[in-house]
Structures are given as structure tokens and as C-alpha cells.
Amino acid sequence: MSSPRAVLFDIDGTLITTGGAGGRAWARAFQQLFGREADITRFSEVGMTDPDVARQTFTGTMGREPSDDELAQLIMGYLRHLPWEVHGSEDYRIFEGVVDTLRALADGGAVLGLVTGNIEGAARIKMERSHLNRYFAFGGYGTDSRDRAELTRAAIERAEMLHGHDIDPAAIMVVGDTPRDVAAANAVGAISVCVATGEYTAEQLREAGAHHVLASMLEPFPETD
């Protein structure tokens, strides 16, 4: 058994919960820009990328596809409202064991990155309140691809750039809380680690094919074979 060379973490439901700050920021942007109430939970699913959330919520709310300008305005409006919602959220919290896990992995020689459907700006805003940005040197974001497997590949390429050589997929772990995270890990040949701190139970994550399932980050983090 050995330590992984790279560990890639999802954000929402895995490291933190914003207590609904993201949904409120989207709603404020819709109201301000288009004068309509919008609820992203009606038109999107956990683990989707932000561009897909924006497009599908716009289409579901407005009854038509957004223009390029409207989509850009919506995404930028969301980003402007997000800091206020995140920092004012009473239910924002970092999950137990996260900081100790990140510190131990970094001290053990792993490079840490993010793999998230959030666009990069939103990811950093969400992480800022808990001071977690300092643990992550790179990432794959919703701004890299609408496909989670592709944005995971983007993160791996950045990890390899830091190392200066290719990394064996068997030495890479993808950590998340949804079946989409499992599927992305499988697509790139990495080891999937899931924590049951989001909307899916440990049993559902096992059924999705996760290599390792933890109740929380308080449990010992797995090693590679």
C-alpha cells in the first residue's frame, strides 16, 4: 500500500456545504436580469456543471434557449451575487475531518486538486470562507468542459505538469459524493473515493461502483494498492 500521487476533490457535498448559497445566487441573478423567479433544483441535478445548470434553468424558466449574451449575463450575475450569499449563509459549513485529511495528504506527498462542475470563479468563492483554497494547486472546472470526465482529465493534465511526467491512473484518486464523480473516475481509470456527506447514501454510492466509500472524512483515508 502507498500514498496516492494526486488526489482530486469535488467541492459541494464533499468538502463543504454552502447551505443553499449557490441556488440563492442563481435566483437573485435571474430576478435582477430577467424579472423572473427561478429555482435551479427544478431543472438541474446534483453534480451537473454550472454552464448546464444555467442553460437548463434558463430554458425551463423562460421557455426558450438563452442567447449567448443572456447566458453570459446570467453566469456573471451569479458570480457577482455568490460572495454575498456564501458569506451570509447561516448553514455554510466545512465537513468534519476535511482539513486534517487535506493536510495529511499534502504532507504525505500528494498533489491536491479540484474536480468540480463549478466554474472556476464560483469554486474559489465557495472555498474562500473556509480558507480551503490554500490546499489546492490546480483543478478541473465547469469552465473546462460540460463533461465531468473531460474536466477530470484536464485536472490530471495539470497534476502531471506539476510533476513533470505522466502519472499512473492507479495512483490518482477522485473524491466526490455522487455517482457522477464515480463515473468520471472510472472514465479516466482513477480510483474513486466517495463520502456519504451529500445527497447520496453510502449504499447508493457503493451501487454506483465506488472503489471506496466513507461515511465522512473522519474515517481513515484509503491508500493505493
pTM: 0.94
Beginning with the edge strand found earlier in the chain, give each strand of the sheet holding 172-176 in spatial order. Answer: 138-140, 111-115, 6-9, 172-176, 191-195, 212-214
For the chain, the structural domain boundaries read: 6-17+93-214, 21-88
pLDDT of residue 2: 66
Cβ contact 179:204 at 8 Å: yes
Cβ contact 48:122 at 8 Å: no
Cβ contact 215:192 at 8 Å: no
pLDDT of residue 76: 96
Give mean pLDDT, residues 111-123.
96
Cβ contact 155:139 at 8 Å: yes
Per residue in 62-112, pLDDT tens? 999 999 999 999 999 999 999 999 999 999 999 999 999 999 999 999 999
Give the Å distances, CA to CA, from 215 to 122, 173, 181, 183: 26, 17, 16, 19
Tell me whether domains 6-17+93-214 and 21-88 share a fold: no
pLDDT at residue 131 is higher than 60: yes
- Tell whether domain 21-88 is in CATH 1.10.4100: no
Per residue in 7-59, pLDDT tens? 999 999 999 999 999 999 999 999 999 999 888 888 777 778 899 989 999 99
pLDDT of residue 166: 94
pLDDT at residue 180 is higher than 60: yes
Fold of 6-17+93-214: Rossmann fold (3.40.50)
